[in-house]
Structure 1
């Protein structure tokens, strides 16, 4: 009995309408103090209000399990994307109600506005959808669902608690990966900025000999097969396949810098996942190496269907380190693991020429045996400073320094090109498209 009384009080809340009605009662009693003939009306109003409160409480508490609510959430969330969640609510009262629903979302979102208000008729149910956008990988703990119910009187509110604590993992952006995958399958990558690159020359991978049809290149006629069959036969070539494509991700302190809530490491991880999936769709092999002061994960390149899931599970756990990258360890690992010429896409960041010069000797050694593509980031905030007008001496100084750093990024691209190293200088937001464009370009030019 004591527990029931405690539950009654802890789940009973007074509404703003009740406080307004009480304020009216107070004003009426004040008027009765100055006008004695008016004394009966405040008492009648007060006791009528008390009666309505009792009726309202009876209406809300007479039905056990009068409301049901449940959270609908995916098994995992996609980092940096809008993930759709839903709350199912069902009215089991014999009357129409007004509901206020609070979902206890993880603290990482720092949101206090996940409150949904709706009305439900008798026996009606609804599904309320909302979006969450995580900006960090890891585990996110959801709490209970709190539902506050009011009747048509709206004087008091009854709270229902639905314990639905669950932990959802936030993985690298698999939603972006699926979007690019669907567009690659339907040949619509150009709709999101991926360029169509004209193939130069002809692939050297022979597939079969087939009968000649008008329009075939006469240079592919196989004269020996023609003599045997008595009709023109041509060699049929297809795109080169099974080329190893390795994404190497730098996890050093240079990748800690944030842009729009995400670190450079998260941008690199999302781009690596998208590129690996596109490479597998193009029948190439995808592999992964992570690097900080020591070598992290190493996934040899493969074309198996489970390869992208293996890469996803590894990328989910990666975190930024606070030391500088060990390029010597990277070079040793590449020489040991990569047994044939491969495309190596190295996601890193250089903020100055000095940072490049420390790593350049090892980059040149890697480029001697493999096709190396260095991907680093354009500082968009510095670019905004260079475009903003300077109004005083301090502004001129700030703008000059910003222009110096922006120009130094371009010098880094030029320095890498002088040593025969491909590079991409990209804003974090355009990293996926720029990386795919470069991969398709290198493939079309038969560099891999």
Structure 2
């Protein structure tokens, strides 16, 4: 789920600000365009998790054990203070390093420092000194008085709350564990850096975009005569070339984005893939979003999947299996870029493509398609989903995702028997348990 943070409004990642500069549009345009595609990612993640839990027979918490919203906030409000500090610094235009420093410092203050522990007050006093020094005219480009006041207030609140503090032994243990995780992720990132360096030094990446379009044209010329008998436009040579180009560019983005920070991979991929997509007549905004999406997907795509390596380190799990699981959960994010390239109405902000009817048709059917594919991946819907029924649900889901009224109607015919089978299986299960 966190792998969607780079593409989820309103914050997104630093690459979204670069996109606004490249396209010369307001940042709000990028935010609005990203809303629906990001939503599809989370629909896929939540659906697969939900149906997998149903298949495994995992029980929900009883109502009396579910945490109460008001009670949780009353007992843990102070844990939000470091997050507020981090966001204040980040949105004020300072570097991520500065935001991380303030966030971690506030975590130490909130979790370990208190009035009844006089020695521990050295940390918040040092932090306050740093904040107000940054607000002074001697620090150059420092904090504004307003921001310094907000950060100072957060520091004081972190010291004054009445909840239990941890010991400094726990702080030392936290630092020890953090270093261990950082070493595991750093080793993987260093190995990936060698691959990225070779690609950039040899210039392979910058030739790749044009090689892809030429290769797709050759493959389309070979496949089109075999599909002429269908007389369908979707199997024409131009359509096949466009689809193959998109698939190959997506694969190239995933491979080249492996292990890179989002900003760096976006800059590199725009230079490589954007010209190739522009040749296919794809709108500029859809092109940049397409490149960004598939670059971000590299974070959860084996064998590199740097984010999955970090998650596996925390969970004590096998990194490759964690990567495969993450990739499976991210199937929604994998398919959606294809949709907004073929149907830019999903991005909302392109008036030449947007109508309310087309937007609703594309968005709703895409959401239903992602949902259907999630049931096929997890192997459960209303009852266990196996064999041919699972295949039919996958095909029907893919046809729902495809932005075409004809494919939507065909998907209904494919999915209808599966729904009938699921209703029958559910009734049989209920009868067997009574």
TM-score (norm 1): 0.22
TM-score (norm 2): 0.22
Query: Which structure has the greater CA radius of gyration?
Result: 1
Of structures 1 and 2, the one with the larger relative CO (CA 8 A, separation 6+) is 2
Higher strand share: 1
